[in-house]
Amino acid sequence: MRIVSQTGKYDTPYEQCIISVRGGMITAEIPSTNSSTCSFFMGEYSTPEKAQRAMEMLHREYVGIMPSLIISDYGVDPVDLEKFKQSMVGGQIVRAGTDSSVEYHMLPRVFRFPADEEIEVDA
């Protein structure tokens, strides 16, 4: 999944960085080629609770965009199955083990950290 900063200035792969909350700020740390890390400002929130809520939104987005669909291709016309596969833009289709099923997995998308005013926290 790609993560985009509030300002749109930074865009990084989620799986290759460390996202952290410090007070009301969210940063991404990305390993560098010289054994150091580069830190990028991803979002700023008026309260630590809002920053934490933004992180929860990120986690839900990451989990929520990866549904799986398993269907049996037994008795399905190969042409129809190929049309189905081609219609699944943004997905990955793999064999589901030794039976005659296929799995469809949504590929990760993009999450942009919301603006401060877009986040609500319980009072």
- Going residue by residue through the chain (123 aa), what tens digit of pLDDT does each one get? 889 999 999 999 988 899 999 999 999 998 887 778 889 999 999 999 999 999 999 988 887 654 555 556 666 777 876 776 666 555 555 555 555 566 655 555 788 999 999 999 886
* Confidence (pLDDT) at 61: 82
Look up residue 120 and give its two tokens. 């609500």
Residues 94 and 105 sit within 8 Å (Cβ to Cβ): yes
Q: Give dist(CA 25, CA 6) in Å, integer.
A: 11
Among all chains, which residue has been given the structure tokens 């290759």? 16
Q: Decide: residue 41, CB within 10 A, 0-12 exposed, 13-18 middle, 19+ buried.
A: middle
Tell me, rounded to whole angstroms, the distance of Cα 94 from its chain centroid. Answer: 20
Q: What is the pTM of this model?
A: 0.64
* Confidence (pLDDT) at 90: 54
